[in-house]
Amino acid sequence: MQDEPTSTELTEAVADFLRNEIAPVIKGHNAFKLRVAINALDLVTRQLTLEQGSDAAETARLMQLLGTQGSLSELNHALADRIASGEVDLQTPGLAEHLWQTTMDKLAVDQPNYGSYKRELGSQGG
């Protein structure tokens, strides 16, 4: 275990510094590049914060759905193989729910401000 500050705290601090101190004084193409860098830091922060939990939940769903154990990568490959062979389809109990939750978890990291994602969160009460 690393001492503080954590990786998340470091990426948040750098992004906040760039956003609040540097961005207001940068113009033109450099301002655009700075926004890209800030967005990258925000993405890394969300990955550090959310990815482990969502990966664990996805793995658990896949193990239940497939009735087998393995790494997340192995389980996703197995699911893809079963879908490709026709053994599993959207009528398979739990598959649609798994795909939906996996998509929502990925959007929470990649695009948390995406309008449809936010709308769906609101409809779920979350």
Q: What is the pLDDT of residues 84-114, one digit of tens each?
A: 999 999 999 999 999 999 999 999 999 998 8
Q: Is 91 among the domain residues?
A: yes
What are the structure tokens assigned to 108, written together? 């929470």
Q: Is 2 among the domain residues?
A: no
Q: How many domains does the chain have?
A: 1
Q: Model pTM greater than 0.85? A: no
Q: 105 and 50 in contact (C-beta within 8 Å)?
A: yes
Q: 108 and 118 in contact (C-beta within 8 Å)?
A: no
| Full domain range(s) for residue 65 | 7-124
Q: 105 and 126 in contact (C-beta within 8 Å)?
A: no
What are the structure tokens assigned to 122, written together? 């609101």
Phi and psi of 27, rounded to 5°?
-125, 165
Q: Is 41 among the domain residues?
A: yes
| Distance, CA of 105 to CA of 76 (rounded, Å) | 15
Q: Is 1 among the domain residues?
A: no
The confidence score (pLDDT) of residue 97 equals 96
